[in-house]
Amino acid sequence: MRKMRWLFMFSLVFMGLSQQIALAQQEEREEPVIKAEMVKQAEKLIGLEFTDAEIDSMLDGLNRNLRSYQALRKVSLDNSVPPALLFNPIPKGKKLETRQKPIRWSKVNAPEAPDDLEKLAYASVAELAELIRTRKITSVQLTQMYLNRLKKYGPKLQCVVTLTEELAMEQARRADAEIAAGKYRGPLHGIPYGAKDLLAVKGYKTTWGAMPYKDQIIDQTATVVKKLEEAGAVLVAKLTLGALAWGDVWFGGKTRNPWNLEQGSSGSSAGSAAATAAGLVAFSIGTETWGSIVSPSTRCGVTGLRPTFGRVSRAGAMALSWSMDKIGPIARTVEDCAIVFEAIRGPDGIDQTVVEVPFNYDPNVKFSELRIGYTKSLFERDYRGKGNDAKTLETLRKLGAKLIPIELPDTYPVRSLSFILSAEAAAAFDELTRSNRDDLLVRQIKNAWPNVFRTSRFIPAVEYIQANRIRTLVIEELDRLFEAIDLYVVPSFGGNNLLMTNLTGHPCVVVPNGFDDKGSPTSISFIGDLFDEATVLAVAKAVQDATDFHRKHPPLFP
């Protein structure tokens, strides 16, 4: 019996060796596609130099790799399939809060219901919630008002991809019935909102703002949309985004800035910011990979929250960069953002990057107990909005904050890490590039996705991994900064802050803080520690409450 078992094992090994030998012989018979002169040219693309002998030794492996690439390309990969490698922004040794405390929302004195409900178009979520809770207005009335405004002003702003009117009225009627029966779900119950059109909603198109996908229907509803429905919110529209989440140009035109129709609304959460700023929705959902909440919120004069990476599930959302994409609210006030964030945060069992961490929001800020940093040298530069930022710092001091001068870490070349996004985006839209359907995208300039996707094919895997290793060091370096402060305030586009904090996964609250000499809104940003949205929201709210910029509305949209 032992002899038979040994013979069986030997035969398996022999068969395996035979197969390897046969495969090697077959590869030797195949005409090599990659030759030495090609490698010599390719060296220049990656900044390395090899000897002739080294190149000769590489050829078999390079050709074998090429055959592997070709085999892998026969596998159809949907955009929803994530890589097996998951990004974790939590540095070693960092301890996170574990106890969930009761959330304390601010007390709201709701206005009386006006005869003309359109006068509520710019009311905050908190104000609208109190009107609905006390049954001074109904969700159906509010929903119809916002739908009317979307129909009236949406075409002027080019901010709407699809009205979800049938769904919205169904959700609004259900909300009214539940509230009448004493089943009040909370401050989002019956509140109309819009979602960036990279979030799937079953039964509706999800176009990603791009011509190749303009008729795409995904048989799924994004987790964020599901969570908002569970909170009782009413989806009235799917809003525009720059094609594949870049800029404000989509297949139907260019989303406009409500303050200046000659300008685009910036991107990529273009429609979300524009519709919120023009009073077409009570709030909206945007996404950010590298500035796509901060930038349009600034341009349109609204408030945005980019949560910590790993706070909000991206299931059902278009993937652009698996290690950088984040979903967050755009609203009129900081506390509105906090209310929406509370509804959408937390794991769903699908997006494996999401962790359960408490959100202990309390708007009662004790500035004497907080260490607030400010990026001194960035505020001292000459830049658009400098005067308004200086006033914001002064407001903080008047509120009792003792600002600590800090400088952002600069040991590592943060800007050089930006190709991490390019590499992941090229992978997410690999099939689009290989099929040449990228020619259908509206923007075809050098600084647009089609060219970036093609260029990114030449990013070596080794360099991508090395960049992510340096990213770990940047995370650790920024974490050391947070040992001395609780949060910091920074010009919204100051230095490398926007890219760095998107790479590290830190949360950001962006608030309007005035207007420039051309009447365009400006903003300032507050950066919090990982998973500490509660503190950074509370501070930003205190600053916002001490000013009235969030109550200014674009005059073209009364």
> What percent of the chain is predicted at pLDDT more than 90?
94
| Dihedral sign computed on CA atoms, order 441, 445, 447, 450 | positive
Residue 208 φ/ψ region, left for φ over 0, alpha for ψ in the -120 to 50 degree band, beta for the rest: left
What's residue 19's pLDDT? 53
What's residue 316's pLDDT? 98
- Helix 461-481 vs helix 497-504: crossing angle, to nearest 10: 100
**DSSP annotation string for 194-212:** EEETTB--TTSB--TT-GG
Whether residue 365 has pLDDT greater than 90 = yes
SS3 300: helix
The per-residue pLDDT for range 263-316, each reduced to its tens digit, is 999 999 999 999 999 999 999 999 999 999 999 999 999 999 999 999 999 999
Bridge partners of 250, per DSSP, are 253
What's residue 310's pLDDT? 98
Structure confidence at residue 110 as a pLDDT band (50, 70, 90): confident
Whether residue 13 has pLDDT greater than 50 = no
Residue 300 vs residues 146, 208, 278, 469: alpha-carbon distances, Å = 18, 21, 9, 36
Contact 196, 286 (CB under 8 A): yes
Whether residue 11 has pLDDT greater than 60 = no
Tell me, yes or no, if the pTM score tops 0.75: yes
Domains of the chain: 17-72 (no CATH), 117-411+462-551 (3.90.1300.10)
The per-residue pLDDT for range 74-108, each reduced to its tens digit, is 999 999 999 999 999 999 999 999 999 999 999 99
Structure confidence at residue 322 as a pLDDT band (50, 70, 90): very high
Q: Which of the pair, 109 or 43, is modelled with greater confidence?
A: 43
Contact 509, 305 (CB under 8 A): yes
The per-residue pLDDT for range 482-509, each reduced to its tens digit, is 999 999 999 999 999 999 999 999 999 9
What's residue 32's pLDDT? 76
The per-residue pLDDT for range 500-544, each reduced to its tens digit, is 999 999 999 999 999 999 999 999 999 999 999 999 999 999 999
Q: What is the mean pLDDT of the chain?
A: 95
Residue 89 vs residues 311, 320, 541: alpha-carbon distances, Å = 11, 18, 26
Structure confidence at residue 26 as a pLDDT band (50, 70, 90): low
Residues annotated as catalytic are 196, 268, 292
What's residue 10's pLDDT? 43
63: Cβ contacts below 8 Å, ≥ 6 apart: 27, 30, 32, 33, 34
- Using CA atoms, how far apart are residues 354 and 110, in angstroms rounded to an integer? 35
The per-residue pLDDT for range 425-439, each reduced to its tens digit, is 999 999 999 999 999
Residue the block writes with tokens 């901010």: 159
What's residue 8's pLDDT? 43
Contact 175, 189 (CB under 8 A): yes
Residue 18 vs residues 5, 24, 68, 466: alpha-carbon distances, Å = 20, 10, 20, 37
Separation of first and last alpha carbons in the chain? 91
Structure confidence at residue 29 as a pLDDT band (50, 70, 90): low
SS3 371: coil
